[in-house]
Amino acid sequence: MTPPPGQIDSVLSSTRADFRLQAKASGESVDHADTRWVDVHRHGKMRSGRTISQQINEHSTIKFTLDLGDGHQSESVILPMTGRTGRQRLTLCLSSQVGCALGCGFCETAAMGFIRNLTVAEVLDQWHVAKFRFDSPISNIVFMGMGEPMENLDTVLQAIRILTDRSGPAIAPSRVAVSTVGRVAGIDRYRDFMTHEDFRRVRLAVSVNAPNAEIRRELMPITRSDSMPELHQAMSDWIASGGKPILIEYVLIPGVNDAVDHPAQLARWLEGIDCRINVIPYNPRRNSPWPAPTESSVDVFIDALRSEGCRVHRRKTLGRSVMAACGQLGNEHVRRKVPLRVPRA
């Protein structure tokens, strides 16, 4: 059943409580509205009019593109992840924007520039498609797709409220993570959200990708406005407010951030912060100035971090050959007019 787009989007973008209030204001039975909301979010009984314009599979990884109706598209990835107990879970990587304004040199999405924010309905529809059209039992949500979530935070927080509703998608808050390149004001707002009793266990991931400010400024322009000391303070405040350990993302780029002394520098900068470092072997964007690192260089870097006393995880590379891996989402036909600035190798 495909109702008018505005009708399904109203359900997709509303919490259950808000949808009840809307129903009451329009004279609809609250019980009937509640049933409609649960039918959409729990049972997938209605579909939006957005079409899957592309689906690419690499083994168990699925990248899919949704047409948004205005000539633009969102990209999402379903990732099979194996936990420490050996149990496999499906993680859905959600986009929050079309393109991105922040210009990180290693990122395919950054090459698009910023086009627009996604709406709550467009974010939720990514989950809806993964869950009901692909029949994927999604257990983990990560806002690590196209865009900077902290630049569209109202939408992201509303999506989390809906995704974690036990009568709807029922994703455990502890299995929801928001990743940022280091937008300090956004981290502070997300921390305030986290202190609410219902969302105490949501996760924060910070894309650091450099052992010092000089390299980070070259690789990630946001460092010029949100400095590494300010970022460190925001992460410290997250932990002090009762937040769960932070996931530090470190994209390992040959000749840029993998020198012999870089693990020790990174470890010193992270002192005092309860965190785990997720080392992500670089996934080359289109026309990349750098190759992917060798497995031996990744192992050497991880061993050096561990010798510094860091907790380290090596991100398994999934979807690289189909441009579905970390940092590879984006429309190759949409490119910013000003070339990305990349640090010298």
Per-residue confidence (pLDDT) for residue 331, from 0 to 100: 54
Do 117 and 28 belong together in one domain? no
Question: Are 151 and 212 in the same domain?
Answer: yes
Q: What is the pLDDT of residue 65?
A: 96
Answer whether residue 327 is part of any domain. Answer: no
Please indicate, yes or no, whether residues 156 and 189 belong to a single structural domain of this protein: yes
Query: What pLDDT digit, counting tens, does each position of 95-121 carry?
Result: 999 999 999 988 888 888 999 999 999
Is position 328 within any domain? no
Residue 285 inside a domain? The answer is yes
Asked whether the beta carbons of 46 and 62 are under 8 A apart, the reply is no
Instruction: Give the number of domains in the chain.
Output: 2
| Rounded Cα distance, 211 and 305, in Å | 11
130 and 264, same structural domain? Answer: yes
Tell me, yes or no, whether 9 and 135 share the same domain. no
Co-location of 40 and 122 in the same domain: no
**HSE of 92 in the Cβ direction (CA atoms, 13 Å)?**
27
- Flag whether 71 is in a domain: yes
Q: At 14, list the tokens.
A: 């509303």
Q: What is the pLDDT of residue 5?
A: 52
Q: Which residue in 276, 188, 195, 200 sits closest to 237, CA to CA?
A: 188
Phi, psi dihedral angles at 61 (to 5 degrees): -90, 135
Within-domain flag for 337: no
Q: Which of 107, 275, 310, 326 is catalytic?
A: 326
Q: Are residues 294 and 184 in the same domain?
A: yes
How far is Cα 330 from Cα 95, in angstroms, rounded to an integer?
A: 10
For 47-78, the pLDDT digits (tens) are 888 999 999 998 889 999 999 999 999 999 99
Domain, as residue range, for 27: 1-49
Distances (CA, A) of 188 to 37, 117, 124, 142: 31, 20, 24, 19
Do 316 and 209 share a structural domain?
yes
What is the pLDDT at residue 335?
46
Burial 176-189 (b: 16+ CB within 10 A, else e): bbbbbbbbbebbee
Is 6 part of a structural domain of the chain? yes
Q: Which pLDDT value is given to residue 58? A: 84
Q: What pLDDT does 47 receive?
A: 87
Annotation marks residue 104 as catalytic: no
Output the domain CATH number for residue 135. Answer: 3.20.20.70
Show the low-confidence residues of the chain (pLDDT under 50): 1, 319-325, 327-328, 333, 335, 337-339, 345
- In a domain, residue 305? The reply is yes
For 127-166, the pLDDT digits (tens) are: 999 999 999 999 999 999 999 999 999 999 999 999 999 9
Domain membership of residue 131 (yes or no) is yes
Task: Looking at the structure, tell me whether residues 148 and 31 fall in a common domain.
Answer: no
Supply the pLDDT for residue 97. 97
Asked if residue 162 and residue 36 are part of one domain, the reply reads: no
Residue 17 sits in the same domain as residue 66:
no
Does residue 36 sit in the same domain as residue 65?
no
Looking at residue 245, the DSSP 8-state letter turns out to be: P
